[in-house]
């Protein structure tokens, strides 16, 4: 199983002369009298047995090289070919077809923590729709959609990578495939469900996509950057609470739109998204350990 | 099923030990569960024995590379695993069954083991065959296409063992693998352990002395995060004292060693 590094190393293929001698040399033969497949060589050495070291070398190569095995099959004498074909014909109906290699690459990911993601996404969707209804009913208030959009995907992302929702988290954590990239795959699945809803809600209340998408990305990448050490679910909870206390509550109490959402603040959000994205990549190795799972 | 043995598999290992730990300290939450433990293990079946709370699970987690030791030096399969080192390379040759684990209930056994094989970055073409062999080895062949939510506790445990051995690991860590297995399954499992131990390093954590005596070539006894004793099961039985508690020589040897260790700790 450890052969992926060695599997395709074929520095040199077996040359035709040696291969012909290998094909005929299984039985002791006298020089030049055998008629088994020497047509390709045309040399006087055909039919002489290979010495043991050469034989082992050829055998070791044949084990790993399908193309040389195919060439060897062509050199077999007609009686052997007929025997192999006959055996194959008799055996084939009784052999079960081997299972196909797994092709689905996203579906297993989708199914590992499907229900928690669906549940949390449903909660976020409900909140966004409520915010939209509120905003359409009271146009004078600060935009509630803008206020909750940044943290809307966090609960779904946390649900995709938490020991509370992934029953096999500890086994997964010990595999080479675990880490930031697996987490990102799951996060993308969580986001894909929510982004269209955000787009529709944003369009309904007349917001340009950049105004909610950039804060959204900033908070998601910040969660992943922080989550490696303290757990992705805890990071999501802290960021959501912090955002609610520092921005959402004051905006609702003062009834003034936060300075963070003035049109001029977009470049700041872009820089923030970039910085947290870089931090996330720098802290990628944190997600190799159990602490990342909360 | 015959498979080709390739050069990678028979290449000599470049490390003397599969596991080499030097004064490692590992935290479980805030508690320092493994405190300055020295341990070297090579191929064979090693029984990690100790009372509840001795730090067995924390040590297993550190060996499985899912917790980073806070101190000391840990080398697995010739690669540093505490600081620096290529964790992914170690993990490709690692099999791990945690003490408590769940499976994805809507996956069939085959899908689950396939998913784990994919996460272990096995070559795509090898996965179906390897999955079938792993499922066969744990005696779940006829249940391979059943959903995991229909499995009993013992069957789930065996499904966990199947995912651990699917990549033919050179270092196999099984944390309490015999919990929930009946007598017959235990006996089959011990035979499997002996087979696996011939060409890889198998570490089995357990608190049952009988498991260790029956299947292990080496016993590692730990208590309070320290290495107490290391030897063969026969040597463990030789440690027996007349006042030791237990039903078999090995159990009496085990309790005698623990008591001796605790006595030393008190007088110190």
User: If DSSP states are collapsed to H, E and C, what string results for B161-208?
Assistant: HHHHHCCCCCEEEEECCCCCCCHHHHHHHHHHHHHHHCCCEEEEEECC
Contact B7 A60 (CB under 8 A): yes
The minimal CB distance from A176 to the residues B105, B120, B163 is found for B120
Q: Name the residue among A5, A174, A176 with its Cβ closest to that of B8.
A: A5
Q: Are residues B217 and B48 in contact, defined by beta-carbon separation less than 8 angstroms?
A: no
Closest-CA residue of chain A to B9: A2
Q: Which of A101, A170, A176 sits opposite B101 (nearest CB)?
A: A170
What does the block give as tokens for A262? 């003035």
Q: What are phi and psi of B104, to 5 degrees?
A: -75, 110
Assess B153–A contact: CB distance below 8 Å, yes or no. no
Residue A10 C-alpha, separation from nearest chain B C-alpha, in angstroms? 12
Contact A3 B97 (CB under 8 A): no
For chain A, which residues lie within 8 Å of any Cβ of chain B, measuring from their own Cβ? 1-7, 60, 63-64, 98-102, 108, 111-112, 114, 167-168, 170-178, 182, 285, 288-291
Which of B1, B2, B5, B7 is best to mutate for the A interface (most A CBs within 10 A)? B7
- Contacts of range A274-279, beta carbons closer than 8 Å, 24 or more positions apart: A276/A218, A276/A221, A276/A222, A276/A225, A277/A217, A277/A221, A279/A221, A279/A222, A279/A225
Residues in chain B closer than 8 A to A175 (CB atoms): 91, 116, 119-121
Q: With an 8 Å Cβ cutoff, are B65 and A100 in contact?
A: no
Angle between helices A114-137 and A180-204 (to 10 degrees): 20
Pick among B5, B59, B66, B151 to test the A interface (most A CBs inside 10 A):
B66
Comparing alpha-carbon positions, the chain B residue that sits nearest to A4 is B123
Q: A236 vs A155, A161, A233, B175, CA distance in Å?
A: 7, 11, 5, 31
Contact (CB<8Å) A1/B122: yes
B132 touches chain A (CB under 8 A): yes
Q: Which residues contact B25 (CB under 8 A, 6 or more apart)?
A: B32, B34, B35, B36, B37, B69, B70, B71, B72
| Chain A residue with Cα closest to B58 | A290
pLDDT for res A8? 45
Which among A66, A110, A168, A289 is the top mutation candidate for probing chain B, defined by the most B β-carbons within 10 Å of its own β-carbon? A168
Interface-testing mutation among B2, B5, B8, with chain A (most A C-beta atoms within 10 A) = B8
Contact state of B9 with A178 under an 8 Å Cβ cutoff: no
Where chain A has pLDDT below 70, the residues are 1-11, 26-48, 96-107, 110, 113-114
Q: Which of chain A's residues have a Cβ under 8 Å away from the Cβ of B87?
A: 176, 285, 288
User: Quick check: A1 and B129 in contact, CB under 8 A?
Assistant: no
Residue ranges, chain B, pLDDT below 50:
1
Strands of chain B, DSSP E: 19-28, 31-41, 44-49, 71-76, 79-80, 94-97, 171-175, 201-206, 218-223, 226-231
Q: Is the pTM of this model over 0.80?
A: no
């Amino acid at each position: 199983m450890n052969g992926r590094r060695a599997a395709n190393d074929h520095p040199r293929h077996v040359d035709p002369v040696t291969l012909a001698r290998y094909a005929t040399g299984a039985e002791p033969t006298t020089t030049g009298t055998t008629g088994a497949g020497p047509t390709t060589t045309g040399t006087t050495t055909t039919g002489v047995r290979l010495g043991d070291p050469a034989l082992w070398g050829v055998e070791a190569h044949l084990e790993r090289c399908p193309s040389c095995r195919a060439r060897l099959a062509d050199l077999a004498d007609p009686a052997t070919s007929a025997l192999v074909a006959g055996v194959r014909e008799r055996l084939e109906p009784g052999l079960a077809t081997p299972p196909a290699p797994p092709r689905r690459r996203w579906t297993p990911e989708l199914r590992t923590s499907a229900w928690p993601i669906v549940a949390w996404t449903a909660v976020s969707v409900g909140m966004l729709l409520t915010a939209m209804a509120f905003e359409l009913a009271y146009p004078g208030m600060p935009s509630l959609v803008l206020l909750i959009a940044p943290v809307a995907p966090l609960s779904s992302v946390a649900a995709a990578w938490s020991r509370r929702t992934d029953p096999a988290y500890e086994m997964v954590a010990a595999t080479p495939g675990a880490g930031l990239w697996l987490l990102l795959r799951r996060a993308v699945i969580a986001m894909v469900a929510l982004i269209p809803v955000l787009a529709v809600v944003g369009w309904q209340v007349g917001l340009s996509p950049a105004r909610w998408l950039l804060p959204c990305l900033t908070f998601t990448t910040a969660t992943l950057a922080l989550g490696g050490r303290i757990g992705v679910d805890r990071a999501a909870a802290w960021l959501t609470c912090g955002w609610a206390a520092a921005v959402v509550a004051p905006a609702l109490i003062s009834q003034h739109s936060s300075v963070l959402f003035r049109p001029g603040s977009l470049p700041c959000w872009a820089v923030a998204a970039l910085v947290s994205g870089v931090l996330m990549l720098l802290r990628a190795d944190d997600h190799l350990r159990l602490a990342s799972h909360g | 099923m015959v498979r080709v043995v390739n050069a990678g598999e028979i290449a000599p290992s470049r490390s003397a030990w599969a596991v080499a730990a030097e004064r490692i300290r590992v935290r479980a939450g805030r508690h320092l569960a493994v405190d300055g433990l020295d341990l070297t293990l090579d191929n064979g079946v090693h029984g990690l024995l100790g009372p509840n709370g001795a730090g067995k699970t924390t040590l297993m987690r550190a060996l499985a590379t899912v917790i980073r030791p806070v101190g000391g030096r840990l080398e697995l399969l010739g690669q540093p695993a505490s600081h620096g080192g290529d964790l992914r390379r170690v993990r490709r040759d690692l099999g791990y069954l945690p003490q408590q684990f769940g499976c994805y209930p809507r996956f069939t056994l085959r899908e689950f083991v396939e998913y784990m094989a994919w996460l272990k970055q096995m070559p795509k073409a090898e996965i179906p065959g390897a999955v079938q062999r792993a499922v066969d080895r744990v005696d779940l062949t006829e249940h391979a296409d059943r959903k995991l939510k229909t499995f009993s506790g013992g069957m789930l445990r065996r499904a966990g063992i199947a995912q651990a051995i699917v990549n033919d690991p050179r270092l196999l860590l099984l944390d309490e693998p015999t919990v929930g297995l009946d007598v017959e399954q235990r006996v089959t499992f011990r035979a499997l352990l002996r087979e696996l131990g011939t060409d890889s390093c198998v570490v089995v954590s357990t608190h049952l002395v009988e498991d260790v005596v029956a299947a292990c070539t080496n016993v590692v006894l730990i208590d309070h995060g320290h290495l107490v004793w290391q030897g063969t099961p026969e040597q463990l039985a030789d440690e027996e004292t007349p006042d030791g508690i237990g039903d078999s020589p090995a159990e009496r040897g085990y309790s005698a060693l623990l008591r001796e260790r605790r006595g030393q700790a008190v007088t110190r």
